[in-house]
Structure 1
Amino acid sequence: MLVYWAATGRPHYSSMSEGQHIPYISDIGASNLKPMFIAMSAVTVVTFDLAFIFERWLRHSGRLTPNTSIWQKIYSFCAIVAAIVGAAGLILLSIFDVAHHQKQHDIFLGVFIIGYIVSAIFICWEYQRLGIHYRQHSVLRISFWIKLFFILAEVCLAIAFGVLSKKHVWNAAAILEWIIAFIYCFYVLSFFVDFLPALRTKHHQSEQTEMQMAEEGGRTNMGDGAAESQQYFRGNAAPSGYANGATNGYTNGNGYNNGYTNGNGYTNGEYANRGVSHTNNGYPKPAEPAPLASRNF
């Protein structure tokens, strides 16, 4: 709006006082830019109030550091209510422009400024208490100091603006109004700092989810030997495939057990007749050689 005023030749609007060379925001908003002034005011404050609500929800769901007391939740609720009141004040002051509704415009301007200052006080109070309990989170301290600066700066500038307006120092009062508006914009942008931990939490959860899916996929797609790798550790039962294979291959099959016991190779054969026995480890002792035939005829 300030650029538009400068680009159009710095006109003197009908709502401006005599000797006033710098317009108020409301002076420009009461001109042919009134529809844009109303729309932009509504979008700004509604978006900002949604940021308060989302912050409350993220803190309740654990995406942000949760509140540690009921008082912190009360501070947050009061901040949301005050922000909604301030939002209503800005929308109404843009509708009741200074050119046609001077008294109502001034009232709603006061509602807007007081509403957001009170909201900042409560949200700052909440962050101060959170910073005590979560000293490891520096973002809470940063956000607290940003909000505290906004409170002190806006209160001082608002008082100075009111005094200059009462004394009809229009140009200086208009400059202070623009400064208040710019500081308010930076205050709105400062809430991006508050949402940074929520973005990091979401990224961390995504990494964990990907790792878990990769592990589960590995168990599904890898071979039986890799999937059942714990069989190689002592004390763990062998998987079913190996248990059945060993049982059927060596015990019930025709390979070793039946071969040594019922077959004709060792037990019933000549080695059995030669007194084959076993060592302590279970291995069969070598059979003694057969005696040579006697040469005595």
Structure 2
Amino acid sequence: MWIISFWVFPVISACMWLAMLVAMISTWAAKGKPHYSNMPATRTIPYISDIGATGIQPLFIAGSAVTVVFLDLSFLSERWLRHTGKLVRNKGRFDKACSILSILFSIAGAAGLILLSIFDDVHHRSLHDAFLGLFIGAYLISAVFICMEYLRLGVTYRRQHRILFISFWIKFIFIVVELALAIAFGVLNQHDRGARNAAAVIEWVIALVFTFYVLSFIIDLLPSVRTRHHIPQGEKAFARPSTSSGHPEITYEEPVTTDSMGDRANTYRGPVASGYQTNGANLPRDF
């Protein structure tokens, strides 16, 4: 059984983001695919903000806020776990600085998304566009800095911890894909005719790709997860009796993976059986 840990932050963030997108596009389809007043006549596919500016704006605001709050908690958790040695530690000021800068830009991106959902593109078009640029730009820059951190860590620990390089490549691909899509969106959005429908499709694709970026943080936080095992009753005579049945029982913990695990990840968090810490490492050899 998995112990609830920091990995739930990106899961909640991604699920909230995806659920919000599905709810918005479903609402538009259920209403008969209306042509909103804030859409030009040449465009039949709405932008996310077009739908968000209608009667479901509270959903847009709440979904955006929950998404970025839990995503930024993922950034903060990664920094704290490395600092405390639960994840492999940073080796110098450069990668620590990259981690801190990625957090700062993620906070700026979070503010951009929340504000663009509040200042809709009907009544506050200029502000909305500015906050949209802040959201996309800040999270891309944040991804660049966290890529630099993981590249440095991956080179330093290239023999022991492959997860670091895997995470680096996932985030690097995200940067390349999102940057290319953002440029295409900006170019197509300037056209007056059918190209704007293509721009709307690209915006939805950008949002979906962002979901996979959020989920990539599960890989980063996974080494901090531990499983709790129970030794069947009666197998170890030295284990302390359980309070309910009187039969011997023992509980110990193990990390889900040691890849990218820090030097303090084996610190035990549980009961002691017969004078031994029941984390598997401190038990007698015949255990």
Superposed pair shares fold, TM > 0.5: yes
User: Are residues 1:42 and 2:68 paired?
Assistant: no
User: Are residues 1:204 and 2:254 paired?
Assistant: yes
Tell me: higher relative CO, structure 1 or 2? Use CA pairs within 8 A at least 6 residues apart. Answer: 2
Residue by residue over 1:172-223, the C-alpha shift from the partner in whole angstroms, topping out at 9 and shown as x without a partner, is 00000000000001111111111111114994379885998234179xxxxx
Give secondary structure in 1 for the equivalent of 2:43: coil
User: Are residues 1:176 and 2:202 paired?
Assistant: yes
> Which has the larger strand fraction?
2
User: Structure 1 residues 209, 113: closer, same or farther in 2, change over 3 A?
Assistant: closer
Residue type matched to 1:152 in 2?
Answer: V
Match of 1:32 in 2: 55
**Structure 1, 145-154 or 207-216: larger mean CA deviation:** 207-216
The one of 53, 74, 85 equivalent to 2:97 is 74
Are the equivalent residues in 2 in contact too, given 1:131–1:141 (CA < 8 A)? Answer: yes
Are the equivalent residues in 2 in contact too, given 1:63–1:201 (CA < 8 A)? Answer: no
Residue type matched to 1:177 in 2?
Answer: E
The one of 89, 109, 120 equivalent to 1:97 is 120
Match of 2:238 in 1: none
Match of 2:275 in 1: 216
The one of 187, 190, 196 equivalent to 1:166 is 190
Residue type matched to 1:61 in 2?
Answer: T
Give the C-alpha shift of residue 64 in structure 1: 0.4
Match of 1:129 in 2: 152
Aligned mates of 1:77, 1:208 — CA distance in 2:
26
User: Are residues 1:152 and 2:211 paired?
Assistant: no
User: Structure 1 residues 201, 73: closer, same or farther in 2, change over 3 A?
Assistant: farther
Are the equivalent residues in 2 in contact too, given 1:140–1:194 (CA < 8 A)? Answer: yes
The one of 219, 227, 238 equivalent to 1:193 is 219
- Which ranges in structure 2 are unaligned for 5 or more consecutive residues? 1-23, 229-252, 256-264, 278-287
Identity %: 55
Residue by residue over 1:233-286, the C-alpha shift from the partner in whole angstroms, topping out at 9 and shown as x without a partner, is xxxxxxxxxxxxxxxxxxxxxxxxxxxxxxxxxxxxxxxxxxxxxxxxxxxxxx
Give secondary structure in 1 for the equivalent of 2:273: helix
- Which ranges in structure 1 are unaligned for 5 or more consecutive residues? 219-297
Superposed, 1:58-69 pairs within 5 Å as: 58-69=81-92
Residue type matched to 2:254 in 1?
Answer: H
Match of 1:2 in 2: 25
Give the C-alpha shift of residue 133 in structure 1: 1.1
- Aligned-residue CA RMSD (Å): 2.2
Match of 1:14 in 2: 37
User: Structure 1 residues 133, 16: closer, same or farther in 2, change over 3 A?
Assistant: same
Are the equivalent residues in 2 in contact too, given 1:59–1:65 (CA < 8 A)? Answer: yes
Are the equivalent residues in 2 in contact too, given 1:143–1:193 (CA < 8 A)? Answer: yes
User: Structure 1 residues 45, 210: closer, same or farther in 2, change over 3 A?
Assistant: closer
Runs of 4+ in 1 over 2 A off after TM superposition: 200-215
